[in-house]
């Protein structure tokens, strides 16, 4: 398809520019709605780019200022000079519907982008120089770019509407129906600190390997299923669905995981496993089969489950294993893109995203109380801390000596450090760790209030 045959509407482009030349209100309304590349006419694209530059410099946009700017750029004659600017103004009889014309321009631009991306994908498929997985990944990146380009933030909202939602939330809290607004973890001491997990929150759970971050996340899924009949979708990039199933059976039926793995079970243990397979969590918790999902894969599966069964929580284990859809100069930028994508996913699905993360090895070099994790220990990117609504660390006591009478007890405790919480307190909570079941349980312990 030649460029002249691609979707366009020159009349709409001209009216948009004419409106911006004759109305300050139209300028304010349209300047952030479009980009220079949205205009198919080269002259119109150059004019809009100059308008953006003037606007960014806090200068008025009118025929004279535009003419001066284009002349400095040596582009004035290229766009058609005074005659073309006069034509744009004369063709615009009213600016009332300027935003509707801008939407037409935006739609045509999106269609052209889709055609160009489709042609690139078609060429890749025809040439067959790369394997199908690489071509599909290329196609995904191209289409994802168009999707992101065409997403526009909602407009401003008046406090009248905000207050209405505030009062609905407060009334829900008063009538003990706050579970409509927040998701309790099932760990009472932790919920006292968090005030529950907010709907759409991005929750980061971080720990060094072997401390129990996967088990803690699975315990959250188990708790919200058993106590509140909530549904969770799990993406685990390290373990298969069969391996995760064994962990759920172990923690739920309270049968040692090692016995399940080896098959060395007595009759009572086997009976408990059979009974537990029909429990509520079997119908509430789903596991994605893909061990190397992209962010697009995750979004697709979440949308599917949301539409068919409902979705109350998403778990991703863990972020450092994932790759983004784009090329980046360094790993920090890639992790930043991923965390931002998960933040937006929670808003789209209207449910919290539990994102597991590794901690830096630097923590192991510290001694004593200094070994408690800090926000600066998050591995690979400060964006994890920035985007997260809640950051929790899991810590275990490695300092007790063998002759310490509390050593055995301390080994069966994990400290949950709430290091960041946008909507509640911070502090430390101790939970019972049942290692043979890889399970977390409530411990009668008052949390230590954060400083």
Q: Is 232 helix (H, G, I), strand (E, B) or coil?
A: strand
The token pair that represents 72 in the structure block:
């400095």
Rounded CA-CA distance 197/184 in Å is 6
Pairing verdict, β 197-198 and 182-183 = antiparallel
Q: Which residue among the candidates 71, 77, 91, 238 is catalytic per the annotation?
A: 238
DSSP state of 292: S
- Counts for the chain of helices (H) and strands (E), in that order: 18, 12
The token pair that represents 423 in the structure block:
């909507």
* H-only helix segments in 10-80: 10-22, 24-30, 42-56, 63-72
Rounded CA-CA distance 182/116 in Å is 44
The token pair that represents 351 in the structure block:
């449910």
Task: Judge contact between 373 and 393, C-beta under 8 A.
Answer: yes
238 is catalytic: yes
Rounded CA-CA distance 386/117 in Å is 33
Instruction: Examine residue 318 and say whether the peptide bond preceding it is cis (omega within 30 degrees of 0).
Output: yes
CA distances 22 to 16, 58, 88, Å, are: 10, 17, 10
Q: Is the dihedral of CA 71, 77, 80, 81 positive or negative?
A: positive
Rounded CA-CA distance 411/398 in Å is 8
CA distances 40 to 114, 426, 438, Å, are: 14, 53, 60
Residues with catalytic function: 238
């Amino acid at each position: 398809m030649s460029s002249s045959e691609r979707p366009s509407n020159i009349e709409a482009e001209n009216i948009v520019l004419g409106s911006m030349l004759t109305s300050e209100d139209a300028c304010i309304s349209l300047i952030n709605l479009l980009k220079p590349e949205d205009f198919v006419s080269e002259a119109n694209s150059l004019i809009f780019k100059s308008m953006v530059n003037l606007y960014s410099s806090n200068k008025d946009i009118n025929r004279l200022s535009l003419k001066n700017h284009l002349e400095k750029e040596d582009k004035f004659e290229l766009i058609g000079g005074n005659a073309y600017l006069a034509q744009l103004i004369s063709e615009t009889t009213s600016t009332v519907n300027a935003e509707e014309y801008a939407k037409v321009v935006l739609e045509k631009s999106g269609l052209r982008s889709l055609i160009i991306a489709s042609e690139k994908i078609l060429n890749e498929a025809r040439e067959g120089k790369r394997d199908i997985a690489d071509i599909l990944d290329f196609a995904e990146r191209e289409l994802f770019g168009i999707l992101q380009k065409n997403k526009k933030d909602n407009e401003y909202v008046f406090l009248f509407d905000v207050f209405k939602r505030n009062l609905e939330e407060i009334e829900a809290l008063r009538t003990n129906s706050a579970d409509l607004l927040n998701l309790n973890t099932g760990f009472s001491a932790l919920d006292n600190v968090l005030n529950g997990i907010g709907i759409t929150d991005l929750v980061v759970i971080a720990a060094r390997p072997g401390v129990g971050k996967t088990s803690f996340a699975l315990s959250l899924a188990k708790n919200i299923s058993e106590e509140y009949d909530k549904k969770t979708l799990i993406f685990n990039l390290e373990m298969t669905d069969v391996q995760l199933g064994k962990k759920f059976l172990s923690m739920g039926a309270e049968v040692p995981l090692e016995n399940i793995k080896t098959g060395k079970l007595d009759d009572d243990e086997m009976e408990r496993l059979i009974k537990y397979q029909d429990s509520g969590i079997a119908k509430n918790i789903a596991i994605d089969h893909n061990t190397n999902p992209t962010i697009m894969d995750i979004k697709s599966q979440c949308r599917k489950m949301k539409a068919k069964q409902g979705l109350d929580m998403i778990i991703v284990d863990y972020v450092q294993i994932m790759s983004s859809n784009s090329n980046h100069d360094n790993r920090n930028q890639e992790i930043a893109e991923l965390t931002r994508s998960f933040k937006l996913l929670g808003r789209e699905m209207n449910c919290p995203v539990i994102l597991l993360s590794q901690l830096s090895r630097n923590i192991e070099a510290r001694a004593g109380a200094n070994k408690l994790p800090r926000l600066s220990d998050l591995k690979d990117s400060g964006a994890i801390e920035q985007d997260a609504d809640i950051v929790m660390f899991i810590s275990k006591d490695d300092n007790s000596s063998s002759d310490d009478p509390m050593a055995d007890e301390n080994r069966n405790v994990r400290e949950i450090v709430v290091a960041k919480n946008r909507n509640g307190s911070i502090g430390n909570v101790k939970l019972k760790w049942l290692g043979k079941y890889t399970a977390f349980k409530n411990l009668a312990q008052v949390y230590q209030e954060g400083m």
